[in-house]
Each structure stands twice: as structure tokens, then as C-alpha cells.
Structure 1
Amino acid sequence: MRDFKTLQVWEKSHTLTLAVYRATANFPQSEIYGLTSQIRRASASIPANLAEGCGRNGNAEFARFCYISMGSASELEYHLLLAHDLGFLSDPDYAGLQSSLSEVKRMLATFIKRLTIGH
């Protein structure tokens, strides 16, 4: 069993989730159960699945949760684009979130590769 808080990819994804919550705080009230909720759930799913994977046995099982995190990251990527195109996210906010998300996705890909080599 691993301590998820020691993983750099978890820390970066947690920081991203905090930034997403701040960025969506001023979305239209009509989106609270729509896009705001979707974006927040997708972002929180990334570190949550990493944490859950740390509690599992073996690298193969942990890798499965990392793949789920990667899927959530891709979902978040689309939702952020949609929010930007709808005018809910400013250009600078969108660019900052996208940059952080790209970094998390790269880190996840590297981490998955390390977990699955030889399996």
C-alpha cells in the first residue's frame, strides 16, 4: 500500500482540482448542476482515482486506476474547452488550466508506463 500524498502526479492533480474549483466558482448559477458539476467531478476524479489505486494490491491494479484518472483528465479537457467556448472561462484562465492539465496527463502517461513495464 502506498501513500498517495507522496506522489507528485497526485499533488499536481490535486492542485489542478483546487484551481478548477476556483475557476468555476463564478460560472452561471444555471450551470451549477450542469457544466460546473461535470467539470468539478472530472477534475476531482483524477486525484481520487490515484488515491484509490494506492490502496490496491500490485502495480497492475494500481495502473487500472491510473487509466481511469487519464480518462477523467481527457473528459476534463473537453469540458474546459466547452466552458471556454461558452464564455464561462477567460482566455488566461483557460490557458492556465489547460497547461496544468497537460502536465498532469504527461505525468500520468509516464507513471502508467513505469507501472506496466514488464506486465
Structure 2
Amino acid sequence: MALKHNFRKLTIWQEARSLVSETYSITEKFPKTEIYGLSNQLRRCSVSIASNIAEGSARDSNKHFVQYLETALGSSFEWETQLICAFDLNYISETTFNEYVEKIQKIQAMISNFKNTLN
């Protein structure tokens, strides 16, 4: 099946995929009491961002792809909020926090810009 957009070639998907690996690394250091809480939520959000970009790329129209990009964007803001919570709880350092706020905001801008090109 020929895809209109090959998600594997999309920089936004590649960045989101990288975020998944990094999220798993970050959350490994969280307290064990967070395994079903904030750790799990951050991991699920990161996977959701990449997954929605990939799933949307298989849709027949740009209009439908945009809907999946909007979901990915929503998950990215959820991820950012959870990162803020992790910082507030002292689970991550200020340096780590700043690094990943910059990374997620870059991903958010990329998704928004790509979404605008499809409209």
C-alpha cells in the first residue's frame, strides 16, 4: 500500500520516536511508587504522540491526517504538563527539565507547522 505520507520519513515522527526512548530513560529514575502514576502517564503520552503521527499518515485525506496530528499535539501538551509535575516533585533536575521543555516545544511547533501545510 502506497502511503500519501510515509511516516518513517517525517521528521516530526522521528523526533517523537526519539522522545519515547528518552522518556523511558527519564522515568526509570522516578520513585518506584510512580510506576503506575506519573511514569506510566509520561510513557503513554510519548508513545501516543508518535503513534498518532504514524496512524494519521495512513489516512486517505489530509483532513483526516490533521485530526490525528491534533491528537498528537494534545498528547504533547499533556506530556509537557506531566514533565512540569515531575519537576515540581523533584523527580528531575532543572537542567533535565529545561532540556525537555525545549524538545517538546520544538515537537509542538513542528506538528503545528506541518498541520498548517496540510490545511
Category of TM-score, reference length = shorter chain: over 0.9
Partner of 2:49: 46
In 1, the alpha carbon distance for the partners of 2:32 and 2:81 equals 21
The normalised TM-score by structure 2 is: 0.94
Q: Segments of 4+ in structure 1 off by > 3 A?
A: none
In 1, the alpha carbon distance for the partners of 2:40 and 2:93 equals 18
| Residue identity in the other structure for 1:53 | G
In 2, the alpha carbon distance for the partners of 1:18 and 1:108 equals 19
In 1, the alpha carbon distance for the partners of 2:50 and 2:117 equals 18
The alignment partner of 1:27 has SS state of coil
The alignment partner of 1:89 has SS state of coil
RMSD: 0.7
Q: Percent identity?
A: 33
Structure 1: gaps of 5 or more residues: none
The alignment partner of 2:60 has SS state of coil
Q: 1:78-97 alignment to 2 at 5 Å?
A: 78-97=81-100
Number of residue pairs the alignment of both structures matches:
116
Partner of 1:108: 111
CA contact (8 A) 1:63 1:115 kept: yes
Structure 2: gaps of 5 or more residues: none
Q: 1:1-119 alignment to 2 at 5 Å?
A: 1=3, 2-116=5-119
| Residue identity in the other structure for 1:9 | I
- Select the structure with the greater relative contact order (CA < 8 A; seq sep ≥ 6): 1
